[in-house]
Structure 1
């Protein structure tokens, strides 16, 4: 647990003991890695907090600070019906005394699924937006119509990826005291990868494993995020597009078999939406000898769900 409050958002002093920072780094002992001479470290961001874990906390941290500093009383964000970002934003609002509004893509369905039920239980007001309008959610006309309905709010983008989110994610490499060559993370909107790359040193390289099919556009999104946050490209990074297993929220039997085997070997259940796909990709690349013997890889466990 971290007792130092200097790096926490305003108002976090009373709950700082609930957050485990820096998150631990654990070496994974696995015969498949040993056979290829590769060392794998797990950056356990899933252990930061059970409600705002992993990259969700990294992305929200400085946004919460900015919202409070500017006097906002309300956060508004977007997401799908099963969005972990929606869940985490509701939890953050609850912990930090901020009202929250979640704009959900599509129609309302009852009973609420566990993610949305949790959000409501923690004070989030849910509203639903048709898919056609949702595609225009970043346009000023849509944002202004939301302000007319809900009053003033601090806007957090879908997935939480913005310039302040990168600041939080950039802290991850500096928390790792062991030497490493590559650091890997799942890649949805590109914010985590963009931030991690900005925090790298020397020849270290970040690899993002895209969880969406045909996500070539992520390269431009990562560049755009880094340009907004830092004025230009930062660090060495690349995106692997080969392990999406059919696209977001899609899977295949071989992924389930890998996740089941991984849990039996190591006692850690990988989520299949993000982390499981990344870890499958890492082990497949190791098996294919893409990483040279003597390489040390860090895998960021961004969350349990």
Structure 2
């Protein structure tokens, strides 16, 4: 199973040339930043572990990656959610559908307790035991550093081999774990990492960085308007379509458009920089996002 050495290709978008690290090609179910974050767990040898425990949205990319990891390791995934939409139960799609096919148990907290608890609080109260391995939402944990350090090493080798000057690495952030550890391992080599806050704003993203115990952060790009996570924006759909048409590569509909909006403002002021964009996968989520966009804005 290949979890490293993904190709780097060169493309053009809006008249700007950029390089693309194709981490979406790591594994059909276990790709992008989630595969990098969970690499240490894939290598873990502990016969006492029987259950993998996680939480988040019923359509989260992390759900499918954790389901794939559990299936590979012979563990049972219990993934706790606040709720599962009725329509999704009736017509499973995207990450939820594929996770169920891999044997995951997706459990609304209200099904297992009468207490009004957040999924994380329920897990910490009732599902932490010696045979359970707990992974925080989105893989936001120090266990992620090893896999992301390997990604940073691949970037450095490519930069040296291809003699790329003034390199800047760009990627969008949910919890910010990947951007933070890439910055940690690339800053000493003079490589800037730029990101944007897709879930919450800049202050929320910085708080996520701080919870991982780091003091030096990547550059956070911002737009001059509030961008609500999961909301459908015509401009996002247009950017996504334009990227696909320009590059021949499908990007994630939830995170990548906002990052490219930010980069469209950043690039004209940084024409001397060589841009490497990290493709973090998440394409299974497009299975549910794309029909929503098409219903609202047309094909």
Same fold, judged at TM 0.5 (above): yes
Q: Which residue of 1 aligns with 2:251?
A: 270
Q: Which residue of 1 aligns with 2:100?
A: 120
Gapped regions of structure 2 (runs ≥ 5): 286-299
Shift of 1:31: 5.7
Q: Which residue of 1 aligns with 2:25?
A: 47
Q: Contact 1:171–1:199 (CA<8 Å) still a contact in 2? A: no
Shift of 1:21: 2.2
Does the C-alpha gap of structure 1 residues 240 and 211 become closer, same or farther in structure 2, counting only changes over 3 Å?
A: same
Q: TM-score, normalised by structure 1?
A: 0.79
Shift of 1:284: 3.3
Greater helix fraction, Structure 1 or Structure 2: 2
SS of the residue corresponding to residue 277 of structure 2 reads strand
Residues matched between the structures, number: 268
SS of the residue corresponding to residue 15 of structure 2 reads helix
SS of the residue corresponding to residue 76 of structure 1 reads strand
Does the alignment pair 1:209 with 2:188?
A: no
Does the C-alpha gap of structure 1 residues 31 and 156 become closer, same or farther in structure 2, counting only changes over 3 Å?
A: closer
Does the alignment pair 1:89 with 2:45?
A: no
Does the C-alpha gap of structure 1 residues 70 and 186 become closer, same or farther in structure 2, counting only changes over 3 Å?
A: farther
Match of 1:196 among 160, 182, 185: 182
SS of the residue corresponding to residue 183 of structure 1 reads strand
Q: Hey, what's the Cα distance between the residues in 1 that align with 2:195 and 2:266?
A: 13
Deviating runs (4+, > 6 A) in structure 1? Answer: none
Does the C-alpha gap of structure 1 residues 260 and 245 become closer, same or farther in structure 2, counting only changes over 3 Å?
A: farther
Does the alignment pair 1:233 with 2:226?
A: no
SS of the residue corresponding to residue 221 of structure 1 reads helix
Q: Hey, what's the Cα distance between the residues in 1 that align with 2:195 and 2:14?
A: 24
Does the alignment pair 1:100 with 2:49?
A: no
Q: Which residue of 1 aligns with 2:289?
A: none
Shift of 1:138: 4.1
Shift of 1:166: 2.2
Shift of 1:243: 8.2
Q: Contact 1:74–1:154 (CA<8 Å) still a contact in 2? A: yes
Q: Hey, what's the Cα distance between the residues in 2 that align with 1:245 and 1:145?
A: 37
SS of the residue corresponding to residue 203 of structure 2 reads coil
Query: Which structure 2 residues correspond to residues 61-210 of structure 1 after superposition, within 5 A?
Result: 61-66=39-44, 68-69=45-46, 71-107=48-84, 109=86, 110-114=89-93, 115-130=95-110, 133-134=117-118, 137-139=119-121, 142-147=123-128, 152-176=131-155, 177-178=158-159, 179=164, 180-200=166-186, 201-210=188-197
Gapped regions of structure 1 (runs ≥ 5): 1-15, 34-38
SS of the residue corresponding to residue 218 of structure 2 reads strand
Q: TM-score, normalised by structure 2?
A: 0.81
Q: Hey, what's the Cα distance between the residues in 2 that align with 1:194 and 1:207?
A: 10
Q: Hey, what's the Cα distance between the residues in 1 that align with 2:225 and 2:83?
A: 23
Does the C-alpha gap of structure 1 residues 30 and 239 become closer, same or farther in structure 2, counting only changes over 3 Å?
A: closer
Q: Contact 2:167–2:191 (CA<8 Å) still a contact in 1? A: yes
Shift of 1:41: 1.1
